[in-house]
Structure 1
Amino acid sequence: MAASAEKKKLDVKSVTGEGIYKILPDLARLRIIVFRDWPYLYDGTLEYEEKYLKKFASAKGAVVITAYDGAEMVGASTGAPMIEHADEFGEPFRKAGYDISKIFYCGESVLLKSHRGYGLGHAFFDGREAQARKLGGFQYSTFCRVIRPDDHPLKPADYAPLDPFWRKRGYHPVDGIIATYDWKDVDQPGETRHDMQFWMKTL
């Protein structure tokens, strides 16, 4: 954990196994709040979150890196073996010739705006990559981000992409490894399809 995060007295922990089920309500709340903003624009519901997160919690080897400010969860980051995730994510790697049993998937990272800039991004990646190494047998760590057009009407003028941070962590976009996933945007009447670009590093 970064020194700046320590000064703010944030409690960062790695949660695995049955412990994940206990934090699902807090995680669902955070996902709905954070993913509503750019670039995901996700118009989420607790019903969907409950179904999605229970499936994640049952994944073998799953981990959630949590950040609490007192009793409030202010950030969280998930990860699990790629083979345990939805086919939408694993299929592009299979088609490209990868053995997905050797890929650890870093899922979403959600952090309240009030607690950004305190080193939690590094803590989230450190924790998930440590879980991959602890489990053993993984060659790669990967995550994906939504692809949005630069001229999207809801893109904030001051938006700064996280590409430099991800590259500093050793991740790079992988040409041709793109998944598609459906969800409802805040400005749309129903679900639409979204392209998700994968970034990857060697562990």
Structure 2
Amino acid sequence: MDIQLLKGPQLEPCIEELAQLRISVFREFPYLYDGDLAYEAGYLSIYLRSPDSVCVLVRDQGQVVGASTGLPLADETEQFQRPFVAAGWNTGQIFYCAESVVLPGWRGRGLGVRFFQEREAHARQLGRFEWCAFCAVQRPQDHPRRPTGYQPLDAFWTRRGYRHHPELHTEYHWRDLDEAEESGKSMSFWLKELV
């Protein structure tokens, strides 16, 4: 596997491949996201505009099989900044570890650990961040599309040093696979102090 670190506008040639990867992986539970390339390209443009963004891109024989993104929280949308501002956090000191996506055939090979290592190293190198944060969708235990035996990633995130802060939450809108229109999804944040 070939792993590249792309920063800011360096990501532009890979936007379509990254969009397709995100659509494929986020169709799975718990996101159940019914995405499209045009929306994804617009969403991903935030990384092109942020000079301090990073994308850890994984290829296998030329195919994009995994990716992980991050950028300063201050460069993210108001939806993601709002809970921190309301709680009195300094968004300028938080690096936001956005999404990590890996195709099923490449899971269990240590990419999840590598993704956190690379994004945290990038945040440290920038030299102005005290925290890394990410958010995850909150689905009910009895969600009808929850697969039998589904294991959330909470234990994995805890082993990486992150702690859940359910008091920091926001709502993001997308259309689930079985929805006719977009609806709000509850998202809560996890944080790790960079030392």
TM-score range, shorter chain: over 0.9
- Unpaired runs of 5+ residues, structure 2, are none
Alpha carbons 2:165, 2:190 under 8 Å: kept: yes
- Unpaired runs of 5+ residues, structure 1, are 1-9
* Offset at residue 145 of structure 1 (A): 0.3
Instruction: Show CA shifts across 1:95-131 (max 9, x none).
Output: 1110000000000111000000000001100111011
Q: Percent identity?
A: 44
1:128 maps to a residue whose letter is R
Structure 2 partner of 1:7: none
Structure 2 partner of 1:194: 185
Instruction: Show CA shifts across 1:143-186 (max 9, x none).
Output: 00000001011000021111111000000111310011100000
Instruction: Give the TM-score of the pair, scaled to structure 1.
Output: 0.94
Residues of 1 paired with 2:140 and 2:124: CA distance? 35
Alpha carbons 1:36, 1:43 under 8 Å: kept: yes
Residues of 2 paired with 1:126 and 1:186: CA distance? 32
Q: 2:134 aligns with which of 132, 143, 146?
A: 143
Alpha carbons 1:60, 1:81 under 8 Å: kept: no
Residues of 2 paired with 1:43 and 1:117: CA distance? 25
Taking the TM superposition and a 5 Å limit, the aligned residue runs for 1:23-42 are 23-42=14-33
Q: CA RMSD in A?
A: 0.8
Match of 1:175, SS?
strand
How many residues align structurally? 194
Residues of 2 paired with 1:87 and 1:178: CA distance? 13
* Offset at residue 12 of structure 1 (A): 1.4
Residues of 1 paired with 2:166 and 2:178: CA distance? 29
Alpha carbons 1:56, 1:85 under 8 Å: kept: no
Alpha carbons 2:9, 2:47 under 8 Å: kept: no
The list of structure 1 runs, each at least 4 consecutive aligned residues, that deviate by more than 2 angstroms after superposition, is none
Instruction: Give the TM-score of the pair, scaled to structure 2.
Output: 0.97
* Offset at residue 58 of structure 1 (A): 1.2
Residues of 2 paired with 1:188 and 1:68: CA distance? 33
Residues of 2 paired with 1:167 and 1:175: CA distance? 14
Match of 1:18, SS?
helix
2:50 maps to a residue whose letter is A
Farther off after superposition, 97-106 or 46-55: 46-55
Q: 2:2 aligns with which of 4, 11, 29?
A: 11
